[in-house]
Structure 1
Amino acid sequence: MDVVSDAISAMRIGRPSSQRLRVGGRWCTRLAPYEGAGFHVVLAGGCRLLPDGGGEPVALGPGDAVLLPHGTGHVLADGPVDPAEASRAVPFEEVNGTGIGIGIGIGSPGGAGRATELLCGKYRLDRSRAHPLMAELPEVVHLPNRVGEHPELRTAVDLLARELDDRRPGSCLAVPSLLDLLLVYMVRAWTADAEAGAWPAVLSDPVTTAALRALHSDPAAPWSNERLAAEAGVSRATLARRFTGLVGRPPMAYLTWWRLTLAATLLRSSDAPLASVARRTGYSSPYALSHAFSREFGVTPGKYRLPAPERHS
């Protein structure tokens, strides 16, 4: 595994959802904040996105993609939106609940404004297991459609749009898989384009990347600073300096945190016995894992595994 794949897999829960909308005339709709990440891709036309909290509006054109990795509430509209218009925006759930917007216009079909086609979707994420790479993503990641940039992202969008246009045998498996692929490509595009931030720098540093790849490939191995430095091809002092300076914590501290995060993911996503989870995450016994897990998460592994209502009973 690699860091981007693991960072997404650790947080992801359930299946993603998506829908294709065709909107026209004067329209304005609001998506409330949610537990997860959302995205929009403009397949035709254009619109404006206004994030909650006074964020800068984003103009979206044909082929543009936008990721909202922290589930930020926002308004989508056919053009510039003032606060009064935003307050009167139609809730997105009402739009979908009435069927309006699926192949017809939202608002006044004969009004001003060009027709716009949007591919919209959501991912369910557990923020208690957020990798720092995902936590560092800005509230809005705008990925403009530029010739020659991120061709794999454009291919995934095209494939997804075709699957949603014409549901063929296997679509029930193809669509969620393509949505997962789209999220990977959007995060990858941000790490490639970002001009600032710790994790784009981490992933461009060969020494730190080699160390992270080793830790994520086999987190249960008996890693030490010496062994990890040898894996990265540098001295122990060089590894400690570069890894700690970029990642923000020493290699072994990162390993401990990642092992516990992986244990949390296994507890919620499988019924594996605690002894098995301990072995897979590098702990010598269920007791050793339980002690470290309780210190990190403030709850025992058994309680963490219970459904939310039972955890609080």
Structure 2
Amino acid sequence: MADRPANFGVSPVMSIDPLAEVVTLLQPAIRFSKLVEYAGAWKIRREGTGEPFYCAVLDGGCRMTVDEQAPMILQAGDFVLVPAMHTIVSASLDAPEIETTREPIEIGEGRFRVGCVDAPAELTMRIGHCHFASPDADLLVRLLPRVILARGEPRLATLMQLVGEESFARRPAREVVLERLLELVLIEAVRSGDATMSAPGLVQGLADPRLAAALRALHARPERPWTVADLADEAAMSRSAFFARFSRIVGLPPMEYVLAWRMALAKRLLSDRELAVEQVAERVGYSSASTFTVAFGRYTGLSPARYGRAQKAA
């Protein structure tokens, strides 16, 4: 079957947003957010931690190199998101050859200084680290770009201001508000930024109209007994062409993606403990609790019931 014109008409199946689902499942939570001022010549190297890292340039400019790639010149209004932090070298525009070893000096609550302490600040950035509470964070992060650079996005600037205010306000429901703000930051950054270190993943898949049709159909109906042929039909492609294109652009073979997504959904449902195992099995596309239990055990090493109890104990 040759590629056919895809049917991209509006339907209930297309109402699901896979990117929003992935970000929600990641369960982002803030570790810290701080305002950092820089003056003079400086150069700092941060080793990779695997945790999400973000920074927003509020004033001035600097250079930033992620994972030994080409340096980025950042200016006021720029926002950088690294979903899984690699080694990052940031430096003044007239950076010295040797890294500055001195740690940032705290000059107030949530405010730090790098470089010359007494000189006027030449660069101001809001820097933060967060973590993803999802047990499938490694898989889900693989579906996002490795580095995202967004320039001059007022919505991101507003969200970052809210994150900063909420971080130190100590208001009721602070953690819930921060989680929702971080979800918005992640979604806004991904959809408005450039993937400066392009890699296979969900974002690339959603940028491909044919693959996007298949991905949205899968996310809308994970309970359907999907096959490669079914997904290829959604993409209006031949089975072989779809398999090759999906594997290359998304980074996983189609049915491996289906399994991983179903297991991620199942873990969330089991953690919530609102549904019986039989109901979870049905929600994620298994004909019986026994077949789901076998598949879940192979994937996680635990039975669904034991996994649910472990999450409750945690």
TM-score normalised to structure 1 length: 0.72
Indicate if the aligned counterparts of 2:107 and 2:113 stay in contact, CA closer than 8 A.
no
Q: What is the percent sequence identity of the aligned residues?
A: 26
Residue 293 (structure 2) aligns with? 290
Match of residue 125, structure 2, among 115, 118, 124 = 118
* 1:156 and 2:147 aligned: no
Task: Classify the secondary structure of the residue corresponding to 1:284.
Answer: coil
Task: Classify the secondary structure of the residue corresponding to 1:198.
Answer: coil
* 1:68 and 2:82 aligned: yes
Which AA in structure 1 matches 2:55? H
1:55 Cα shift?
4.9
Task: Classify the secondary structure of the residue corresponding to 2:22.
Answer: helix
> Which runs of structure 1 show a deviation greater than 6 angstroms over 4 or more consecutive aligned residues?
168-171
Q: Distance in 2 between matches of 1:106 and 1:42?
A: 15
C-alpha deviations, 1:195-239, integer Å up to 9, x for none?
954345522322221111010111012334554455445565664
Q: Distance in 2 between matches of 1:163 and 1:201?
A: 28
1:63 Cα shift?
0.8
Which AA in structure 1 matches 2:84? H
Q: Distance in 1 between matches of 2:265 and 2:121?
A: 47
Which AA in structure 2 matches 1:296? Y
Residue 142 (structure 1) aligns with? 149
Match of residue 116, structure 2, among 105, 108, 114 = 108
1:183 Cα shift?
0.8
C-alpha deviations, 1:239-265, integer Å up to 9, x for none?
455445544555444322321232233
Indicate if the aligned counterparts of 1:42 and 1:119 stay in contact, CA closer than 8 A.
yes
CA RMSD of aligned residues (A): 3.9
Which AA in structure 1 matches 2:59? A
Structure with bigger helix share is 1
| 1:1-313 correspondence to structure 2 within 5 Å | 1-13=16-28, 15-17=29-31, 19-26=33-40, 31=46, 33-51=48-66, 54-79=68-93, 81-82=95-96, 84-86=98-100, 88-90=101-103, 95=105, 98=106, 100=108, 102-103=110-111, 105-111=113-119, 114-125=121-132, 126=134, 128-131=136-139, 134-135=142-143, 137-138=145-146, 140-145=147-152, 151=153, 154-161=154-161, 164=164, 172=174, 174-190=177-193, 197-199=199-201, 201-225=204-228, 227-233=230-236, 239-240=242-243, 242-244=245-247, 246-247=249-250, 250-268=253-271, 270=273, 272-305=275-308
1:31 Cα shift?
4.8
Q: Distance in 2 between matches of 1:72 and 1:127?
A: 20
Q: Distance in 2 between matches of 1:109 and 1:119?
A: 18
The alignment covers a number of residue pairs equal to 292
Report the CA distance shift for 1:57/1:226 in structure 2 as closer, same or farther (over 3 A).
Answer: closer
Which AA in structure 2 matches 1:10? L
Report the CA distance shift for 1:19/1:129 in structure 2 as closer, same or farther (over 3 A).
Answer: closer
Which AA in structure 2 matches 1:207? R
Structure with bigger strand share is 2
TM-score normalised to structure 2 length: 0.72
Report the CA distance shift for 1:118/1:196 in structure 2 as closer, same or farther (over 3 A).
Answer: closer
- When structure 1 is superposed on structure 2, of 64-73 and 245-254 the one drifting more is 245-254
Unaligned stretches of 5+ residues in structure 2: 1-15
Report the CA distance shift for 1:127/1:73 in structure 2 as closer, same or farther (over 3 A).
Answer: farther
- When structure 1 is superposed on structure 2, of 21-30 and 54-63 the one drifting more is 21-30
Indicate if the aligned counterparts of 2:39 and 2:123 stay in contact, CA closer than 8 A.
no
Task: Classify the secondary structure of the residue corresponding to 1:60.
Answer: strand
Q: Distance in 1 between matches of 2:69 and 2:227?
A: 44
Q: Distance in 2 between matches of 1:3 and 1:163?
A: 24
